[in-house]
Amino acid sequence: MEAVICKWGNSPALRLPSAALKEAGFAIEQKVKLVVLSGRIVTDSVIRPSLDWIISVVAVARI
For the chain, which residues make up each domain, given as ranges?
24-63
pLDDT tens across 14-48, in order? 998 999 888 888 888 888 889 998 999 988 888 76
What element of type H or E holds 57? helix 51-61
pLDDT at 12: 95
**pLDDT given for residue 46 in this prediction:** 81
Q: How far is CA 54 from CA 14, 37, 61, in A?
A: 21, 29, 11
